[in-house]
Amino acid sequence: MSGSNGHAHENGTSTFVASPAVLGMPAVPQLSAEKVKDLVATLETPFDARVIEWRVMNTTKNQQPVRGQVVPYADQRAYTDRLNAVFTPAGWTRRYTIHTSANFERSKDQKIVAKVLVTCELTIFGLGSHSATGEEWADDDNAGTSAEAQSFKRACSCFGLGRYLYYFMGTWVDLDDHKRPKTVPKLAGWATPAGWLEGLRPYTAGDPKPSEQTAAGTGGNAHSLHNGEGTNPQRSTLVREIEQMEEALGKRMYRGLLKTLARVWNPSEIQDPAIQQKVLAHMQAAERGFRRAEAAVSKAGLATFAEILRSLKMSSLDQVDNLKTLQAIVVALEGGADQPKQ
């Protein structure tokens, strides 16, 4: 495992640790603001299209041919390769903490099963540290591997690495008999290294160029452009900014805020700019809340985190659909408060 050189087991918790002291490395000099900016810009550059894969997130029912909603992703090896290329293997380290939660009733099949929770603390010498949590149902044969990869990639995104993938909202394509995509969407220019370095970006203030309005490049909002939203740049921009929040928040919180604040399921249905701004502000607050929760988990411990979720009859942050509950979780994690009550 790149960046790790030891392990320990204590009370069912596995921790992989590496540090400059262990590696015999000298203290890292303080980087200039300009150097930090350059390094972050390098990390933010999209992956080469050859390492991008496509995952089917949803499928149609009772429809022929069967269609699936696909989103792009990169294997964690692509993240490791980028870190090694920019900082060398000695320039960064990661620390994993693994914990198994108490049993919960899974909503989709009412099966009683635990979850594997993994926290990854990623340290890039000279840039600092970020931590994030991944999770998977324990009855999955690859639960540990999946949760580990998820936590690592989420921690990387805090530095900007792979962050651009959050702009994709999913594209519908035909599937074969094994529910695999028959074809995959073409990446828009902004999602390629060359296009990014030329200055292309998703969700600009003006309407996307026709060449950028591919299904994969619109972030799921091509329908909005064809419904007349492009005639009002300010409104179009707000709608797109709201749409791009779905990936960061998850469907529960995203849909919950839309329903509570605007009484709609689709941002393009919001006509009042003031409500659009209110929805966006609440979603941005929710994203910050999730980030705070993920950071607090590493300090409070996964056992405490699991107990807080269980008190709310939840097994995951993905089930939170309102800011009040999210705030209660964050307060309990950060302040050692009593477990929140519904």
Sheet holding 67-74, edge to edge: 52-59, 67-74, 171-174
Phi and psi at 252, nearest 5°, equal -60, -55
Residue 26 burial (10 A CB sphere; 0-12, 13-18, 19+): exposed
Residue 113: pLDDT above 60? Answer: yes
pTM of the model: 0.57
Q: Taking residues 69-83, what's their average pLDDT?
A: 94
The hierarchical CATH code for the domain 1-53+73-167+191-203 is: 3.30.390.80
Residue 159: pLDDT above 90? Answer: yes
The more confidently predicted of residues 273 and 140 is 140
- Tens-place pLDDT, residues 13-55: 444 444 444 444 555 567 888 999 999 999 999 999 999 999 9
Q: Which of 130, 126, 179 lies closest to 154, judged by CA?
A: 130
| pLDDT value at residue 17 | 42
What pairs with residue 128 in β-bridges?
124
Residue with tokens 């991008």: 52
| pLDDT value at residue 274 | 77
CA atoms of 71 and 69, how far apart (whole Å): 7
List the Cα angle 159/161/83 in 5-degree steps.
Answer: 95
- Tell me if 138 sits within 8 A of 114, measured CB to CB: yes
CA atoms of 279 and 169, how far apart (whole Å): 18
| pLDDT value at residue 69 | 87
- Tens-place pLDDT, residues 99-111: 888 887 777 777 8
| pLDDT value at residue 121 | 95
Q: Taking residues 136-155, what's their average pLDDT?
A: 92
Lowest mean pLDDT among 101-105, 130-134, 151-155: 101-105
CA atoms of 264 and 236, how far apart (whole Å): 17
Lowest mean pLDDT among 195-199, 202-206, 323-327: 202-206
What pairs with residue 276 in β-bridges?
none
Residue 3: pLDDT above 50? Answer: no
| pLDDT value at residue 224 | 33
Split at pLDDT 50, 70, 90, the class of 218 is: very low
CA atoms of 148 and 120, how far apart (whole Å): 7
Query: What is the residue extent of each domain of the chain?
Result: 1-53+73-167+191-203, 221-342
| DSSP percent split of the chain into helix, strand, coil, nearest 5 | 45, 20, 35
Sign of CA dihedral 103, 106, 109, 114: negative
The more confidently predicted of residues 69 and 236 is 69
- Tell me if 54 sits within 8 A of 74, measured CB to CB: no
Phi and psi at 337, nearest 5°, equal -75, 170
Split at pLDDT 50, 70, 90, the class of 297 is: confident
Share of the chain above pLDDT 90, in %: 29
